[in-house]
Amino acid sequence: MDQPETPEQTAEHIRAAGSASFGSEVHGDTAGDRWAAGDDGRAYGFETLAIHAGQDPDPTTGAVVVPIYQTSTYAQTEVGVHRGYEYSRSGNPTRTALETCLAALEGGRTGLAFASGLAAEDCLLRTVTGPGGHVIVPDDAYGGTYRLFAKVLQRWGVDHTPVPLGDLDAVRAAVRPETALIWCETPTNPLLGIADIAELATIARAAGARLVVDNTFASPYLQQPLALGADVVVHSTTKYLGGHSDVVGGALVAADPALGEELAYNQNAMGGVPGAFDSWLVLRGAKTLGVRMDRHCANAARVVDLLCSSPVVSAVLYPGLPDHPGHEIASKQMSQYGGMVSFRLRGGEAAALEVCRRTRVFTLGESLGGVESLIEHPGRMTHASVAGSQLEVPSDLVRLSVGIETGDDLLADLERALDLG
């Protein structure tokens, strides 16, 4: 086992890695990346950054795709003298490429990749809060995030208050002197609630707290929380960024380099990092994020139209609908409304379970954001951990992750599943 580092030593290792083949530093930092920095004052577009940021051709072979550096350790030229990498928990060139790309896509300074979204959340929370701290969380947060707060951090002495983040007065009322974070999901999982990122950032700054935005549902292609005032963006890269349901991962992107260094230190100290191949899979997926999201959104809009016309559906939850309570804010801070759709059945839980059972193109399964369409019952699947709590979801709720298949096939599949007569 290597010797423990101080934060200052970790920062020095980060600064010493400028000669690395891919990305600008051991951890993704956009300061030295020529794509993220732009060319002659002109900023590159999103799709260009997705394909090139942190991903210059290999200087040895000319390979245009970042290699999978499947190694745990690196040769040193002298004792303590290396080329920016010494041990792959601390840094790996494939991971650096991913981290640099993610930072560029979110418009942040520091990107960090993790073995899962919850590993990223855990690192962040243990960096910026501690015993006696307090976090404001959404009242319909992702079940895994709520479990982390309620079952793990609560025992560590970190308190949390669930609040409807769309109600800014309720958010202000929930702030305490010890509040360290406002934790935001927008859109939320699974009720597709919308929160005003810019207004929440203002509240957080006034309270001396930080705003964290889980941008998993929207993806950086549709929404840029850091540009709206957020301090940190969280991702489950398993979802839209990876996009192919073949990898589990997470990420943090920080706007402040100093906070980025603290997070990088704990990333190494806690060790919840992805391997080289997992990093490569997410990087591969990110290249096509833009074109995939366009199709996800287009198909979702058609699915929403179908659901709104169905007599067995009592409510459709989608921020693109004009009567959605967060529609105006979503239109302001998102470029499109996303590929996630939830709806409720007039026949209650039994009808919801039956619809889930009847689909064929929509696969019954957890997760979201892949090229294939998924259907699930949140109350019994992804959000079972919040049963009996303030965050319990309706039993008649069905969640769809609308994929990029032929739209007509998705509509035909749902029509068949909704024919409950």
Among 235, 220, 236, 272, which residue's Cα sits nearest to residue 114? Answer: 272
Among 351, 197, 274, which residue's Cα sits nearest to residue 28? Answer: 274
Q: Which of 29, 122, 139, 214 is catalytic?
A: 214
Residue 289 near residue 241, CB atoms below 8 Å:
yes
142 is catalytic: yes
CA 171 to chain centre: 22
Q: Which of 95, 109, 210, 239 is catalytic?
A: 239
Residue 111 near residue 33, CB atoms below 8 Å:
no
* Cα–Cα distance measured from residue 367 to residue 355, given in angstroms and rounded to the nearest whole number: 18
Within 10 A of 303 (CB to CB), how many other CB atoms are there? Answer: 24
214 is catalytic: yes
Q: How many helices (H) and strands (E) does the chain have?
A: 15, 13
Residue 102 near residue 219, CB atoms below 8 Å:
no
What does DSSP assign to residue 23?
S
239 is catalytic: yes
Q: Which of 89, 284, 287, 380 is catalytic?
A: 89
Q: Which of 85, 142, 318, 337 is catalytic?
A: 142
Structure tokens of 408? 């007509």
Contacts of 224 (CB under 8 A, 6+ apart): 106, 107
302 is catalytic: no
Residues designated as active site: 89, 142, 214, 239
